[in-house]
Structure 1
Amino acid sequence: MSGKETSASVLKAIVLADTHLLGEIKGHWLDKLRREWQMERSFQTALWLLQPDIVFILGDVFDEGKWSSPQAWADDVRRFQKMFKHSVFTELVVIAGNHDIGFHYEMTPYKVNRFEKLFNFTSAKLITRKGINFVLVNSVAMEGDGCAVCHTSEAKLVALSHKLNCSQQKPNHSNKRCSDVEKLPASEPILLQHYPLYRKSDAECTGEDSAPPEEKNIPFKEKYDVLSQEASQKV
């Protein structure tokens, strides 16, 4: 395979999270100016240097989306679009976090809808790029209590799971339940969401971004720090 063919077949991606653009309530103007200048220059430099095909932001884009007024939301969006502008050759995919739409008890259809409308995001959405399947999930809706938003998200996940399972089957395998299902590339899906899947603590995490030693064994709280065990099994 030539270098040109290899380059064309490789998906170059940047994964970011928790940009937390400060809002009108807690954000001081000087702090905003400093942080946002740094983030904008870092992001634009990364685009120039790495030339990614796609950029994922895994939630908490905004710091006060969970309670911001329409006017404050519009201002936050304007600043976000300035900081994270990109060329038509790079796709930007943004996933909801609890600071964007609220924790489960704060989440409302209004907050969810305005986020989804802005970023063309829906929970249990599948995107396929260069043969790689990505599953985008609103992890705030994985509460498991049957709320309207949760019920819709879980139902979509079940349908998507069926489609992915059918796509994994061999061509000569006969299954009537899969006969009318659109076939996807037979790649293992990559799950993208804001909350991590359940784990007891950071004890087994390593690397530059891992928690300091004194914090690694602090137990995580389900449905707050991480998804619940039940929700993690479902996902």
Structure 2
Amino acid sequence: MAFVTCRHSAMMRTGPGRSAVLSKRSVFLMKILCFLFAVVWFCEFLVYYVVIIQCSWPKITGTLDQEHKSALKVIFLSDTHLLGAIRGHWFDKLRREWQMERSYQSALWLLQPDIVFILGDLFDEGKWSNSKAWDEDVERFHRMFRHPSHTELIVVVGNHDIGFHYEMTIHKLNRFERAFNLTSGEVLSRKGVNFVLVNSVALEGDNCVICRAAESQIFEVSRKLNCSRMTDDADLRKNCRGVERLPPSAPILLQHYPLYRESDSSCTGEDSASLEEKRVLFMEKYDVLSKDASEKLLRLLRPRLILSGHTHSACEVLHRGRIPEISVPSFSWRNRNNPSFIMGTITATEFALEKCFLPEENTVVWIYSLAGILVLLYLMDHLRTFTLLRTFSRAKHKPV
């Protein structure tokens, strides 16, 4: 009886009200945590699906639905610039790599491409990396840009991967090609479509060892393409004996450096260069290929489409008045607020291209800022309500 009386007295002192207050606080904290989790989940995962699902494969004008379905579906992106050990701050690396990984994986899941091409500068410090740092960077790249078996990933070498011409060595080029199982200057044929992958860093024209090899590969590719377009000319048939035959389709040229143009002044679009950047004249063999190298590629390969990277901004120019070149902007938020990639529906004779924009950095920052303000207002309102209730409770129990 005494125990029951003591317990009853204790409950009266602590009171059921205290339990209710603790319960309300738990509910309040749970609401805030759930809200914050939802915001982070949206900004760091769901937003990529929400944005990319709005993109669709372009349709080639005049094609039937069946032809559209059987066409080659290709994604082109460029300049991922994975940060290295020298210049990469850990948080910057974590943030940018997460953004690129989620964008890439979301695009693969939603769009189901046949091939993905990355047009150079996969790494930011490949030109400086020792063997250990290089292996770590390659491992991170393969983890981020993993892909299902029905999708191919093919890369092109850039100046940050092996260095500019004066930094480029056979060792750097060989380790890049080994890491990605490719040979620069080769032709890839898929569904009757020919893609020519060029090491544009080596098109210096100064007869260096790597430059000579790159030019020889281009001549060999040109011969294969010409023989594949062979007519009934007897002399041409004789010269083409033993030459690998490719689909008789004009090639698509893929490289890191753009062909020669004076500047980006004629480029338009929301992801083109800024007005200040457009006023800067390009330097041959540094910002763009030289005039000679550009003319040589156009003459020898006779491409129907060219895609390049390097400038980090979008641009579309016509060479010889009929051959379009698309400069693909950087895929990294470190280089752009509004990254994007190009979607291509391609057949042996036709192609259609469409740009797919990724979530803007400003949008994500704005959502986080708004969420922070809402949480702050909710906390202030809760604090004000709690203070009023506490004051009322004290006044009610105050002895008269």
**Band of TM-score, shorter chain:** over 0.9
1:58 aligns with 2:119: yes
1:145 aligns with 2:242: no
The separation in 1 between residues aligned to 2:269 and 2:226, in whole angstroms, is: 33
How far off its partner does 1:215 sit?
2.5
1:213 aligns with 2:275: yes
Report which of the two structures shows the higher radius of gyration computed on alpha carbons.
2
Q: For the structure 1 residues 201 and 5, does the alpha-carbon distance in structure 2 shift closer, same or farther, using more than 3 Å as the test?
A: closer
The separation in 1 between residues aligned to 2:275 and 2:206, in whole angstroms, is: 35
Task: Name the structure 2 match of 1:227.
Answer: 289
Task: Name the structure 1 match of 2:398.
Answer: none
How far off its partner does 1:4 sit?
4.6
Q: How does 1:1-235 map to 2 (within 5 A)?
A: 3-4=65-66, 6-8=68-70, 10-170=71-231, 172-174=232-234, 175=236, 176-235=238-297
Partner of 1:13: helix, strand, or coil? strand
The separation in 2 between residues aligned to 1:65 and 1:210, in whole angstroms, is: 26
The separation in 1 between residues aligned to 2:127 and 2:242, in whole angstroms, is: 40
TM-score (norm. length: structure 2): 0.56
Q: Percent identity?
A: 64
The separation in 1 between residues aligned to 2:85 and 2:100, in whole angstroms, is: 18
* Stretches of structure 1 lacking an aligned partner (at least 5 in a row): none
The separation in 2 between residues aligned to 1:215 and 1:183, in whole angstroms, is: 44
Partner of 1:201: helix, strand, or coil? coil
Question: 1:17–1:60: 8 Å Cα contact kept in structure 2?
Answer: yes
Partner of 2:148: helix, strand, or coil? coil
How far off its partner does 1:207 sit?
2.4
How far off its partner does 1:196 sit?
0.4
Partner of 2:280: helix, strand, or coil? coil
How far off its partner does 1:2 sit?
6.9
The separation in 1 between residues aligned to 2:64 and 2:158, in whole angstroms, is: 41
Question: 1:135–1:192: 8 Å Cα contact kept in structure 2?
Answer: yes
- Name the amino acid aligned to 1:199: R
- Name the amino acid aligned to 2:190: R
Task: Name the structure 1 match of 2:11.
Answer: none
How far off its partner does 1:177 sit?
1.2
Q: Deviations over 1:44-81 (max 9, x none)?
A: 00001110000000000000000111111111111111
Partner of 1:12: helix, strand, or coil? strand
Partner of 1:188: helix, strand, or coil? coil
Q: How many residues align?
A: 233
Question: 1:122–1:138: 8 Å Cα contact kept in structure 2?
Answer: no
- Name the amino acid aligned to 2:253: L
Q: Bigger relative contact order, structure 1 or 2, given CA contacts below 8 A and separation 6+?
A: 2
Q: Structure 1 or 2: larger helix share?
A: 2
Task: Name the structure 1 match of 2:306.
Answer: none
How far off its partner does 1:30 sit?
0.8
Partner of 1:135: helix, strand, or coil? strand
Q: Deviations over 1:17-58 (max 9, x none)?
A: 100000000001111111111110000000011100000000
Give the ranges of 4+ consecutive aligned residues of structure 1 lying more than 6 Å apart after TM superposition: none
How far off its partner does 1:173 sit?
3.1
The separation in 2 between residues aligned to 1:204 and 1:219, in whole angstroms, is: 12
Q: Deviations over 1:174-202 (max 9, x none)?
A: 32212432321111111101000101111
- Name the amino acid aligned to 1:104: H
The separation in 2 between residues aligned to 1:202 and 1:2, in whole angstroms, is: 37
Partner of 2:195: helix, strand, or coil? strand
Partner of 2:293: helix, strand, or coil? helix
Q: Deviations over 1:108-142 (max 9, x none)?
A: 11101100001122221100011110000111111
How far off its partner does 1:88 sit?
0.5
